[in-house]
Structure formats: C-alpha cells, structure tokens
Amino acid sequence: MVAVGEDIRRGAYYDSVILMQLQRSLAALPRVLDAGVVMGTDANKNVLAQSELLTPGAKAAAADDLVILVRAEDDAAAQAALAQVDELLTSRGRADSGQHTAYRPKSIESALQMMPQAQWVLVSVPGRYAAGVARQALRSGRNVFLYSDNVSLEEESALKRVAAESGRLVMGPDCGTAIVNGIGLGFANQVRRGPIGLVGASGTGLQLVSSRIHQLGSGITHALGTGGRDLTPEAGAVTTRQGLDLLSRDPATRVIVLISKPPSPRVIDGLLATARLAGKPVVVDFIGYVGRRQGNVHLTTTLDQTAELAVELAAIKTDVVPAPDPHPERFAPGQRFLRGLFSGGTLALEAMLVLQDYIPVVYSNAPLDSSYRLANSLVSQADTVIDLGEDEFTVGRLHPMMDNDLRIRRLQQEAADPEVAVILLDIVLGYGAHPAPAGELAPAIAGARARAEQDGRHLEVVAVLVGTDEDPQDLESERQQLEQAGAIVETSNEAAARRAGRLIRALAQPAVTPPAQPIKPVELGMLLQPMAAVNVGLESFAESLVAQGAEAIQVDWRPPAGGNESLMAILERMKG
C-alpha cells in the first residue's frame, strides 16, 4: 500500500542545489514513487499537497524547517529511503571536497584576506539573512551582486543608501543577471564583446536583449542588473542611476540600453532626464510605457525592438523573418485557453503586454492589472501567465532556471486541462542556468502532447529559447531536442508571444469580462579590471565564474547564531 514517510529537520540549512540533488536522488531509489525536499513555506506546502506528499508533520513545519518527504510503494520502502538521507548528503559533501580541495573560509572577511583583489561579493543565501551578508560586503568596501529574493524593500533601500554614499554598487536584491567585463554573474549568456552597454531591472530581460544583440551581430560592454524594485520611490533608482553614469563614462560603450518593468511615475521623469545627460544614444524600454523620443533617448515597446534599435544605432543591422503559424483547425472543440509558464519575470511581463493585442484578459500571479491577480497561484483560470520565479515559489526552492521540477509538474497540470490549447514557456540558457534544460523539458513536452492526442485533443507548445551559440548548453542541440518533442521554438520573446496570441485569437475565444538621493560616483576601473569575486551561497555561481576564467572563492557560509533572530540582531548591533 502506498505510504508517505517524512523527516522534518528544524532550522536546517543546505544549499538549494544540494536540496534539489537530494530530492532527485531519493526519487530515483527503488520502489520510490515521488519525493519532495523543500523548506516549510506555505507555497511549498501547497505544492506538496497537489503532489499528494503533504503529511501532518510537513503541514505543521515552520518556514525555516527542512521538510523531506518520500512517497513509496509501502511504508518499508519509504522508511528505507529516508534512512539514506544522511548518507546522500554526506556523499554530496565528499564529491564537493574532491572537486574543490582548497580551504574554504567561514566569513567574507577571511575570504578577502585570501583574495584581496576581489571587488565583488556574490550573495545568494536565504532572504532573511541576505541583507546582513550584503552589509558585511559593503563594510569591506566591495560591490554586491545580490541574487537573494525575499529581502524587504526597507532593507533594500538601506543597503542602496550605504552603497550610494560609499561609491559602491548593490545589484539587487532579486538580481538574476549581470555581465561585467565579459564575465557573467548569476544567470548570464556568453555574448560577444561590443559597443552596447545595458542596465536592466530584471535578469531575463537583460538575458534576452543581450542574446538578441549577439544574434544580430553586435555585442556588449557590460550588462548591469539592478533588481526588480530599484525603480520604486523607496529604492530611488539608485543602482539604475549608477549604471547609467558608469556606462556614460565608459569609452568602449557607444550605445546604452535601459530596460525595466514599468517604473513608478514618481521616478520615471527624473530617470529619463538623467538618460538625456548621458551624452550617448540611450534606448529605453520601460515595458508598457509609451512615450516619444527625447533627444538622445529612444523609447521602444518590446525587448526585440530594444535590441534591434541598439544594434542599428551601433551601425549593425540584421532582419529576422518570423516562421509561419500552425493550423488552428487541429484543436478539439472547447480548446481555447493559453497557459504561460515562465522562469523569467521580465519575459512573462512582456509576453502579457504582447498578448493584449490578441486576448482581452490575461490572469497572472504578477499581473499587469491587479484586478487580474490569481486567487491561487497554483490554479490557473482562463488565459493565464505564471511567473514561477516570483518569491512565493523560490523560498527554500531552487530558481526554475536551475531546477525544472516545479515547471514540469505545472506543465503536466495545465496540459491535462481539456480547455487548454497552447502552452507558452521560456527556456533560458547561459552560465548559472540548468546545464541541459531541454533534456528534461523536451520529454515532458512530448509526453504532455502525446497524452492530449490520446484524449482527442491537440496541444501546441511554443517556447522562446534565450541564449547564444557560445553558451555552455549548446543552443542548437537544445533547439533540436525541443523541436523533436513537437515544440515551436523562437529566439524572440515577442515572436513567441505573438505566435501564441494569434492561435488563441483564431480559436475564437469569447471575451472575458474584467473583474533623487545624492550618489557618489562609482570608480569606472571597477568594471574594467579582471573579475575576482567572493561567493556566499549557491556554489554553482562560483563554479560559473571559474569556468569563464575569473577568480572566485567560495565561503562556507552558515546562518549566524544558528538562525536565532534575537541573537542575530544583537550580533548585528555589535558590528554596527
């Protein structure tokens, strides 16, 4: 008889990569049917419940508890699998030791004594600890790439005030991508060097535009991430203004690109005024914002237009010819809805904007209009686009650009809906991302389409593949696997969204009734010197740096004071 075994570890901390690998190792054991290894957040509990893994113990777990669950053919098999957890964790540690024999310091300070030339600290620890780690880096006089999410806006504003006063950069929090002097931080694509510099408030937006610039024959100098909330009044656009200033002073940058989700109206006028002072062409895509050219500032409305105009201004131009549409008559009666499953928030947002030309209302967990926010992010309604990279899905769980598990489960869920006709998704390559995403997603796509055919339905899957021919995943191989699985593959997010939108419109879907802080200049030399960084958090980020020829040192980080918030506050005041 099927049984679910549980192992709840109070206040345990492990790298998210280790948790992903543990879950996969457990799921691969004999007589094991499924496994879940997550932190005990409400969102993760909802996913466990839908996967028939939620036990009473898991339901009672706190957000910082490690929840290990195994569903097996019987209780003996479940308990046998759980008995191997410590050995699996230990074997991972032994494997790591074999790959990285150098001593690992316990703190940023010790790491910087070993690598004093490091100008960057990469932070990807859980959100409740991230601001404290970033403060340590700033106190040490270093710039911060802050990948961690679930950092409060108040903490973000405070960190950026300190950075602005000291002439340092804080890229983030929730900053997924940057490229500094040819080296990718976090999730980044291998793009050629060239005359275009980018400042972007979100990771996948930077990835798509930089990849499109590469595909169009040009290249970039630097791509500076800011985090998704930098253009709020509270954060004051500090990092964005610093990035514009740096690129305006960089002699190798001839064209500047500025992309973000819609800024606060209280921020946008001042930011455009700053852009007009750059002394270079500035191509601006505030996704959803419509305006006219203002001197050297060129406004665009899609990421594709942004890349193309930047390349044109840099004197290189390549035309892209869209592929023909599939035939809507293949679908069964009643199939009429679209479901978007995105790992990139910026790509999801742009897709929703493009889809407005074809679909009256698109629901989302991160909607264009709050009236269309899903009541439950785990349950789609009508036409829905989900950003699986939102905070609610990433607490104690690896980002969907690194772990396909959650998206595959959601793909299967949406494909089983008899009213769904089209699934739209992004697949992002590059350093830091999953090493071979099509190897997992292609079989899931093929299986979903086959099950739909068995039910007398046709399921169309449209994918935007973000990457370059120099990325470690092999762009052409990824494309071929996806196409062999039956997916329509585009390298343009706009083209993919329009392809999906035209299909849904052709299915005659009935309409749905809608329910300026002073900044000390950052030294330009910081961008131009060889990359050397201290990494605190996801080990794969340090490995990516080393793979690109940069210097990196991994900190053996553990939550301070064992995660006790009262003791943490006391320690922070003592450092103060």
Last residue of a domain, one of 450, 471, 506: 506
What is the three-class DSSP state of 506? helix
- Phi, psi (deg, nearest 5) at residue 212: -65, -40
Run of H or E residues at 32: strand 32-39
Helix axis angle for 345-355 and 203-215, nearest 10°, is: 80
Residues 154 and 253 in one domain: yes
Q: Is residue 292 part of a domain?
A: yes
Amino acid letter, 214 = H
Residues 136 and 268 in one domain: yes
Number of domains in the chain: 3
Residues 475 and 356 in one domain: yes
- Candidates 426, 438, 430, 433; CA nearest to 478 is 438
Residues 469 and 538 in one domain: no
Residues 350 and 309 in one domain: no
Extract the tokens encoding 93.
């540690």
Residues 6 or more apart in contact with residue 236 via CB below 8 angstroms: 157, 160, 267, 516, 517
Residues 60 and 135 in one domain: no
What CA–CA distance (Å, rounded) separates 157 from 229? 10
Residues 6 or more apart in contact with residue 125 via CB below 8 angstroms: 133, 148, 536, 537, 557, 559
Q: Is residue 398 part of a domain?
A: yes
Amino acid letter, 241 = R
Q: Is residue 444 part of a domain?
A: yes
Residues 363 and 462 in one domain: yes
What confidence tens digit (pLDDT) does each residue in 550-569 have?
Answer: 999 999 888 875 555 555 55
Residues 6 or more apart in contact with residue 83 via CB below 8 angstroms: none
* Burial (0-12, 13-18, 19+ Cβ within 10 Å), 341: buried
Residues 291 and 195 in one domain: yes
What CA–CA distance (Å, rounded) separates 501 from 494? 10
Maximum separation of any 2 CA atoms in the chain, in Å: 72
What CA–CA distance (Å, rounded) separates 385 from 340? 4
Q: Give yes or no for a contact between 471 and 438, defined as CB atoms under 8 angstroms apart.
A: no
The whole domain housing 385 covers: 337-506
Q: What is the pLDDT of residue 98?
A: 40
Q: Give yes or no for a contact between 406 and 393, defined as CB atoms under 8 angstroms apart.
A: yes
- Candidates 158, 171, 182; CA nearest to 120 is 171
| Torsion angle in degrees (nearest 10) through CA of 289, 291, 294, 297 | 30
What CA–CA distance (Å, rounded) separates 9 from 61? 9
Q: What is the pLDDT of residue 319?
A: 43
Which residue's entry shows tokens 């035209």? 502
Q: Is residue 98 part of a domain?
A: no
Q: Is residue 64 part of a domain?
A: yes
DSSP one-letter string for 407-462 = HHHHHHHHHT-TTEEEEEEEEE-SBTS-S-HHHHHHHHHHHHHHHHHHTT---EEE
Extract the tokens encoding 113.
């004594």
pTM of the model: 0.80
Residues 207 and 273 in one domain: yes
Q: Give yes or no for a contact between 216 and 315, defined as CB atoms under 8 angstroms apart.
A: no
Which residue's entry shows tokens 């009473």? 56
Residues 311 and 227 in one domain: yes
Residues 65 and 127 in one domain: no
- Which segments in the chain show pLDDT lower than 70? 91-102, 202, 316-327, 508-518, 561-576
- Candidates 33, 16, 137; CA nearest to 78 is 33
Q: Is residue 194 part of a domain?
A: yes
What's 437's domain CATH number?
3.40.50.261
Extract the tokens encoding 129.
């600890």
Residues 386 and 468 in one domain: yes
What 3 state SS string does 173-234 have? CCCCEEEECCEEEECECCCCEEEEEEEECCHHHHHHHHHHHHHCCCCEEEEEECCCCCCCCC
Q: Is residue 417 part of a domain?
A: yes
